Amino acid sequence: MPRCPRCALPLPIGLSRCSRCIDEAPWQQVLARVDYAPPWDAWIAAFKFRGRLGLAAPLARLWLDDPALDALLRASEVWLPVPSAPSRLAERGYHPVWALMQALAAQRPTPRALAQALRRDDTTTDQHQLGRAQRLAQGPRLFRPDVRIAAHIAGRHVLVVDDVMTTGATLRAACAALGEAGAVTVRALVLARTPPPDPDPAVQ
């Protein structure tokens, strides 16, 4: 399925960018493999919320079918996960995105990993508990670069990884923080992209 290279929403053949795309997004590219819809939403929910760590490998393998993946990995000097909310990390006992990255790294050469390059503000609310408007409002306060690792971001091409892109608020906050830390470019790799709530006339 063709996708907009800026926001990863479905794109009809012949168009290079969707009508919903925001030019000032703090990333150069978002690569998404599937829609967050059946059957993938059930797989991802089981992996993220029910401790099905064995699904990390088959989910990561979905990326391997995308011909754009290898070019994205080669263009990146470092890669890192979007941090989980502290409450979610404590509840799960594992970081789903980091598990996906490790599973992908077992199948492909990958950039240098900076597992904790971003820190999540402990005072923010888990994005899963918020509606769209609240997510977007909270976004700018979500992340900050770890001062001990920021030197490995400045001047480099960075790839940030997440499992699901919903409103884009979380990814926008992560990419903006990396840009402020001096990244030359910031690209994103996500497993699934939530479809728009209403059909976009430009993609019908």
CATH number at residue 117: 3.40.50
CA dist 183 and 76 (Å) reads 11
Domain for residue 22, yes or no? no
What's the pLDDT score for residue 140? Answer: 54
Orientation of helix 56-64 relative to helix 96-105, angle to 10°: 60
Strands 185-193, 157-165: pairing is: parallel
CA dist 141 and 131 (Å) reads 16
Domain for residue 10, yes or no? no
Domain for residue 179, yes or no? yes
Q: How many domains does the chain have?
A: 1
CA dist 184 and 116 (Å) reads 19
More confident residue, 170 or 22: 170
Domain for residue 124, yes or no? yes
Domain for residue 62, yes or no? yes
Domain for residue 9, yes or no? no
Domain for residue 58, yes or no? yes
What's the pLDDT score for residue 48? Answer: 92
The parent domain of residue 82 ranges over 29-195
Q: Is the pLDDT score of 62 beyond 50?
A: yes
More confident residue, 109 or 19: 109
Tokens 């903006």: give the residue: 176
Domain for residue 153, yes or no? yes
Residue 64, SS3 per DSSP = helix
Q: What are the pLDDT digits (tens) for 78-136? A: 999 999 877 788 888 999 999 999 999 999 999 999 998 898 865 454 545 544 554 54
Tokens 């490998």: give the residue: 57
Q: What are the pLDDT digits (tens) for 162-191? A: 999 998 888 999 999 999 899 999 999 999
